[in-house]
Structure 1
Amino acid sequence: MARKVDEKSDRQFVHRVLIVLGLTALFLIAWQLRTLLLMFFGAVVVATVFRALGDRLEKLIGCKPGIAVALSITIILGVAIGLVALFGSHVAAQVQTLREAIPAAWRAFEARMGDLGLGEQIKTLAQSIRAPGGSSFSAFGKTILSIGSGIADVLVVIVAGIFLATQPRFYLTGAVKLIPPTKRALALESIMESEQAMRLWLRGQLIAMIVVGLLTGLGLWALAMPSALTLGLLAGILEFIPFAGPILSAVPAILLALAVSPEIALWVLLLYFAVQQFEGYVLTPLVQQYAVDLPGVVLLFSLIAFGALFGTLGVILAAPLTVVCYVLVKRLYVIETLHTPTSIPGKGKD
């Protein structure tokens, strides 16, 4: 009898060891494929945009869901291609001018700081952020401009987003089948709530990006700044990244302004500050009336965490990742595990 008990105990021990080894192997594989997984999440974000506009078109013109999604994809891609055709060459020329002007602007800034007796401190700061094989600000400029590079990855994400948007139920059903039957209803409800929250967040963020880009571009144009269109476009795009985006967009503009005069640089700094104050205290409260409001501390530390774990791509996708994680934690842990009632971000809004 004791021998049978020992054999059963050994089998249980081996079974648990195999489970731990399997989970460890799965984690290591996921870690090695983390970039691919983030690209997949980016495709989910793209599909969410297509589906959101498709649902609006379905309600407005009363067409079938498949036709509405096809129209949505056509409209969004058509607008993007049209903007590239209209302004692409002009933006490309301004980008090249910007890349050539930033190193000269940095040298002018170092010279001005040297006149004020701060030359050594500035050189120390530059050396602390210097990248191997290049000057500090040429590397910084490449980092900013690399956000618009990686064309192959962007195309893969867009194509995958189109597939997800055209057949969402097929992929959703397949994903839910991987979950134990008793938990499938809860998993499906959590996924739908996450999608709704991300839709609302994306809608609010799109409004903020457009307004910030327009205000910044027009303000720089009024100040007679070079590459005003490109800098305004950069400000709008980087608004997608919370906290860090506005700072990254302001740096090249201020450097270019310093190459002209300290007075212009001060006006440019005030412009970016005013735009961000307007976005923070006027635009965001208005948008959040029908969008998703994330706690600032959660968003800030999520940005740092995803950036440390996944690099630049993690920073870019930090906000939508935080929205999804925030909803899942509330639904699956706070409500289902702790049995504590709490509101789900975006639930009941449209």
Structure 2
Amino acid sequence: MAPSQDLVPFTRKVLIVLALVVVLVLAWALLPVFMLVFGAIVVAALFLSLSHLLQRFTPLGDGAALAVVLVVLSSGFGLLLWLFGAQVSGELSALTEALPGAYAQFEQWLDGTSLGGLVSEQLDTLRDSMGRIASSAGAIAITVSGGLVDLFLVLIGAIYIAAQPQMYRNGLLLLVPGSVRKTAGEAMEASGRALRMWLGGQLVAMLLVGLLTGLGLWLLGVPAAFALALIAFLLDFVPIVGPIVAAIPGILLGFTVSPQIGLATAAMYLVIQQIEGNLLQPLIQQRAVELPPAVLLFSLVIFGSLQGTVGLLLAAPLTVVLYVLVKRLYVREVLGTDVQVPGEAG
């Protein structure tokens, strides 16, 4: 008996819905893998940016330039580790041991001010949270070990992607219908260009923040200035949240010297962030992509909630890529509104 003509469209729609559900479930299950892949893409973009910069001043080809960049980066990292590894390790150990006492001194000073009663409950909550973290040291060690394995995979994947970027780009485009393949390729080029420009500008900002932080802490006489500067440099990769987290241990250690030094340390962190926010970041956004602060903030919340620390680390570059893709594929192609994208003439 032949199926009813009304059942055929209905069955097709049901199958399409089921297929979409299966794809969404698989995408959710594989989200950690996708984040690692994107992390490899970000690192590969950094390698390619340095390779292109080297090629401006040398006649090296793509492969040779990439090889030189990898050798220089690995050698430079090894040299820094040899020169300052013991110092950083010692200061980080001293920092870990000094923070509980620094927190107690800060709490004691705060109790003697008019703000003590207002924030004592929040400080108790923070202290309880720190206690739970300390009691989970074994779980943290396992997480760190897994993070090192993920980092190794990201670095190896980044090298492969940077060695043959066009092959992976063309492979992705083969998954796109031919009618929109050209548009998709242009959008990928624009997002990749924006990502490379953002990474370059962000790296400069991180270096300046780390240098200013280390110099300021050294002048103020705050202990473990080198380690705190390194923390400020690394955490500055995460916009908004990273600088706040990096400032907390520096301010607490400042209070171990004196309340005046603690307040001066807080003021120093605030001034540095004002310099970055009002001078460095506008220059970065001018060359890369101007992200609305609210978009960046909510992207940190969303990706941090979905993927934890990895989501926080990759939220900003992922937002840069998605923002440019939306501009190119939706605002320009669907709505028909012309938009300015990084690296293109207005």
- Structure 2 CA distance for partners of 1:304 and 1:131, relative to 1, 3 Å: same
Paired AA for residue 135 in structure 1: G
Answer yes or no: is the 8 Å Cα contact 1:293–1:345 preserved in 2: no
Distance 2:211 2:136 in 1: 24
- Structure 2 CA distance for partners of 1:144 and 1:90, relative to 1, 3 Å: farther
Residue 54 of structure 1 corresponds to which residue in structure 2? 51
- Tell me how far 1:297 sits from its aligned partner: 2.3
Answer yes or no: is the 8 Å Cα contact 1:239–1:246 preserved in 2: yes
Paired AA for residue 131 in structure 2: S
Answer yes or no: is the 8 Å Cα contact 1:221–1:228 preserved in 2: yes
Paired AA for residue 306 in structure 1: F
Task: Count matched residues.
Answer: 345
- Tell me how far 1:324 sits from its aligned partner: 0.4
Q: Within the alignment, does 1:177 sit opposite 2:174 as a pair?
A: yes
- Tell me how far 1:72 sits from its aligned partner: 1.8
Distance 1:332 1:254 in 2: 45
- Tell me how far 1:110 sits from its aligned partner: 2.3
1:98 aligned residue (88, 95, 98): 95
Report the 3-state secondary structure (helix = DSSP H, G, I; strand = E; otherwise coil) of the residue aligned with 1:135. Answer: helix
Q: Within the alignment, does 1:187 sit opposite 2:174 as a pair?
A: no
- Tell me how far 1:136 sits from its aligned partner: 6.3
- Tell me how far 1:288 sits from its aligned partner: 4.3
- Structure 2 CA distance for partners of 1:147 and 1:285, relative to 1, 3 Å: farther
- Tell me how far 1:68 sits from its aligned partner: 1.4
Q: For residues 12-71 of structure 1, give each alpha carbon's deviation from its aligned partner in whole angstroms, at most 9, with x where no partner exists.
A: 222221221121111112212212211111100000011111122223211221111222
Instruction: Could you tell me which runs of 5 or more consecutive residues in structure 2 were left unpaired when the two chains were aligned.
Output: none
Q: For residues 238-289 of structure 1, give each alpha carbon's deviation from its aligned partner in whole angstroms, at most 9, with x where no partner exists.
A: 1111111111110011111122211010110111111112212233344445
Q: For residues 191-240 of structure 1, give each alpha carbon's deviation from its aligned partner in whole angstroms, at most 9, with x where no partner exists.
A: 11100000111111011000010000011011111110011111111111
Q: Within the alignment, does 1:260 sit opposite 2:257 as a pair?
A: yes
Q: Within the alignment, does 1:241 sit opposite 2:269 as a pair?
A: no
Q: For residues 120-150 of structure 1, give each alpha carbon's deviation from its aligned partner in whole angstroms, at most 9, with x where no partner exists.
A: 6555213434567x51685899999999872
Residue 316 of structure 2 corresponds to which residue in structure 1? 319
Distance 2:138 2:83 in 1: 25
- Structure 2 CA distance for partners of 1:324 and 1:140, relative to 1, 3 Å: farther
Q: Which piece of structure 1 moves more, 257-266 or 211-220? A: 257-266
Q: Which piece of structure 1 moves more, 100-109 or 216-225? A: 100-109
Residue 84 of structure 1 corresponds to which residue in structure 2? 81
Report the 3-state secondary structure (helix = DSSP H, G, I; strand = E; otherwise coil) of the residue aligned with 2:89. Answer: helix
Answer yes or no: is the 8 Å Cα contact 1:52–1:199 preserved in 2: yes
Q: Which piece of structure 1 moves more, 303-312 or 235-244? A: 303-312
- Structure 2 CA distance for partners of 1:250 and 1:145, relative to 1, 3 Å: farther
Paired AA for residue 101 in structure 1: A
- Tell me how far 1:113 sits from its aligned partner: 2.8
Distance 1:143 1:247 in 2: 25
Residue 194 of structure 2 corresponds to which residue in structure 1? 197
Distance 2:256 2:212 in 1: 23
2:111 aligned residue (98, 110, 114): 114
Answer yes or no: is the 8 Å Cα contact 1:292–1:346 preserved in 2: no
Q: Within the alignment, does 1:307 sit opposite 2:304 as a pair?
A: yes
Report the 3-state secondary structure (helix = DSSP H, G, I; strand = E; otherwise coil) of the residue aligned with 1:347. Answer: coil
- Tell me how far 1:295 sits from its aligned partner: 2.1
Q: Give % identity.
A: 41
Paired AA for residue 188 in structure 2: I
TM-score, normalising length: structure 1: 0.90
Q: Which piece of structure 1 moves more, 203-212 or 256-265? A: 256-265
Residue 275 of structure 2 corresponds to which residue in structure 1? 278
